[in-house]
Structure 1
């Protein structure tokens, strides 16, 4: 078989993985946690599995990682029944670092007969480890049948939510991660440039999205989402996923695109802009200046120790003062291996900002005639924010 080193598009360094493991084990010791259990089933918000192993979850089929405080990891994936693989067995085809063995059995999430197949393997592995306290990571991404089976079979074990302790560690980026995030942003600049350069009447949205995606993949992206929307000037071009990208552009139309693809190493940033196949209306230009001012207003409030609720409330106060709709969903958040990573800059997340977090700021609102927004990434510095990671000009592009 082909060695794994010849198959990988990119790879996080082993010292970087060891840094993460060491910080995690120190956190576990502090909180009396013997084992962490995490599960992800796709890459867009599958950050725990990727952060610990450098291998993404995939295809909607859960990957489980068991992370003991005093041993190497155990991974559970879908595969032939009875599979037990080790680094010694696999040789140079083994993709996992810091993993002692891979367990597999057949299962998918749509087969009710397999609801506890992966959980049964996890229970057996955990019993051998004899933990007194297990920390969950990513409960929202874990299928119910898995978690319920572990609680039922390991009823004497104390289960705690470890995300509140780990997320502040995961969100602060190392120098290696920061450089990779810069590369992702640069890749997205070029993908957007390619899409706008190709835009002309008669093209379908999905064609422009395909151009952006190909450019991103040519530069090292391996996964991600690209949303788009189009409409005549005067009608809001609300963006959507590929299922809603079937509209054909006409002369004078506006086209908006959000590029949320990863870059080398698998880390995400996101870039969003709007172009017009002609001239933008004065209404569009005026509203864009308000959105840009809203972004600048938020950037002035980003600094270590700042609380998400305060940033959220300040943004909505700005929107009210300008007689524009308040945010009701999410307008800023951290990013990394997840498209949306904590802290979410909203009033229900207590996690304060810290230096070297990567934050996306994308104020967005709809009026009867416009869909107004922009989206960019920044690092939190010791006294504020860095220069914008994206170098795409902040404007409505008139093509």
Structure 2
């Protein structure tokens, strides 16, 4: 992305700060700091971004300082010592300027220890939760973000197709996820966007959300859920399949869930509420007698986080808007039969939607 993309994001943040009468924002969340800085961090590392109306200060671990100074567009970069109790001593002079002010923080994202630390550092400051505002800011993707997400979806498709093609009776669940993970990294993913898993047979209807050494068997349904991160942006795809002849009940369940997923996708458009989309899927499953076997949401937004707004679930009032990216993933987990979930990434367009993940939806590959 260009520097202009990041400066425009900072200006959007400053407008929010002005509306909320905030003097300073302190951001710790990994996705938020990357959104504004563009800098990738190791998953074991962290960074802090301080934004006022006049300046921006970015604080990284000492080990990341030289790289940050080379790669990040922000000029004012400092370092903090990792794994020390008073790790923000480097900001003491800066904090003294903002002690009697209103500060925006990601209250929902901070652990108690960090929040307590900030209160000790800034005893006279008033803290305001800005996490919902940042989530809303990130919901609508720019053309450049959509371009990156398309590539992330292609990587997930490629990995999914290779894993499905490789799956054979007698292989272990984690052998399949290893193939998927290798393919994602080979195709340019930074990391998986979450721990990929294959759940087969009884593991699928529990459901068990990690791969085990269980062997793949005929007459079982297998659910493979995975995604990768490309230039910070997540992908997410699920396919259900069989490595042998499924039972008639399993085959019927698969086609029923697939039809509901496709019907739900066809309902997507700007202006529809997230809760209404959820109702379309949930009501159809309820009519088929599967209501109690659908234990999760119908879908979720994704971007720099694997789960972000809008959340497609019961009672959610978010209006879908053009350039939102989300998943649609109704599922049924039927004890003694198996589980079926089919998940695709979808871009909301001006008049409807576009499905970004292309892997065939079939019981057999």
TM-score relative to the length of structure 2? 0.88
Equivalent residue for 1:7?
Answer: none
- The answer as to 2:320 corresponding to 1:353 is yes
Match of 2:265 in 1: 299
Structure 2 unmatched runs, 5+: none
Tell me which residue corresponds to 1:72.
56
1:318 deviates by 2.5
Q: Is the 8 A contact 1:309 1:348 kept in 2?
A: yes
CA distance in 1, matches of 2:309, 2:75: 26
State whether residues 38 and 142 of structure 1, in contact with CA within 8 Å, keep that contact through their aligned partners in structure 2: no
- 1:392 Cα offset (Å): 0.8
C-alpha distance in 1, partners of 2:18/2:177? 47
Kept after mapping to 1: 8 A contact 2:189/2:229: yes
Question: Which residue pairs with 2:6 in the alignment?
Answer: 17
Instruction: Give CA deviations for 1:15-49 in whole Å, capped at 9, x if unaligned.
Output: 32223222222222232222221223xxxxx4212
Structure 1 residue 319 corresponds to structure 2 residue 285: yes
Q: Residue 188 in 1 paired to residue 156 in 2?
A: yes
Matched, 1:283 2:249: yes
Task: Rate the CA distance shift 1:124–1:395 in 2: closer, same or farther, 3 A.
Answer: farther
Contact 2:98 2:125 in 1 (8 A): no
CA distance in 1, matches of 2:273, 2:74: 35
SS of 1:29's equivalent in the other structure is helix
Instruction: Report if aligned partners of 1:237, 1:255 keep a CA contact under 8 Å in 2.
Output: no
CA RMSD of aligned residues (A): 2.7
The answer to whether the aligner puts 1:100 opposite 2:89 as a matched pair is no
TM-fit CA distance, 1:129: 4.7
Contact 2:163–2:177, Cα closer than 8 Å, also in 1:
yes
CA distance in 2, matches of 1:192, 1:262: 14
The answer to whether the 8 Å contact 2:328/2:345 transfers is yes
Structure 1 residue 120: Cα displacement: 4.8
Instruction: Select 1:216's aligned residue among 184, 189, 192.
Output: 184
Question: What corresponds to 1:8 in structure 2?
Answer: none
Instruction: Give the 3 Å change call, closer, same or farther, for CA 393–231 of structure 1 in structure 2.
Output: same
Q: 2:317 & 2:100 partners in 1: Cα distance? A: 29
The aligned counterpart of 1:5 is none
2:204 touches 2:222 (CA, 8 Å); kept in 1? Answer: no
Shift of 1:366: 0.8
| TM superposition shift of 1:270 | 0.6
Residues 180-226 of structure 1: per-residue CA shift (max 9 Å, x gap)? 11111111111011111212233222221111111111111011231
Could you tell me the TM-score, scaled by structure 1's length? 0.81
> Per-residue deviation at 1:314?
3.9
Determine helix, strand or coil for the equivalent of 1:94.
helix
SS in 1 for 2:71: coil
> Contact conserved, 1:221 with 1:266, CA < 8 A, in 2?
no
Alpha-carbon deviations, 1:309-363, whole Å to 9, x = none? 3333443322222211254432211100000011212246544322101011111
Mapped to 1, the partners of 2:286 and 2:220 lie a distance apart of: 30
- Is the CA contact (8 Å cut-off) linking 1:49 and 1:56 kept in structure 2? no
Task: For residue 350 of structure 2, give the secondary structure of its aligned residue in structure 1.
Answer: coil
User: Match for residue 28 of structure 2?
Assistant: 39
Q: Distance in 2 between matches of 1:159 and 1:349?
A: 27
1:111 aligns to what? none
- The verdict on how the C-alpha distance between 1:63 and 1:349 changes in structure 2, with shifts beyond 3 A counting, is farther
Residue-pair matches, total: 361
Contact in 1 for aligned 2:257/2:340 (Cα 8 Å): yes
In the superposition, relative to structure 1, how do residues 255 and 395 fare at CA in structure 2: closer, same or farther (>3 Å)? same
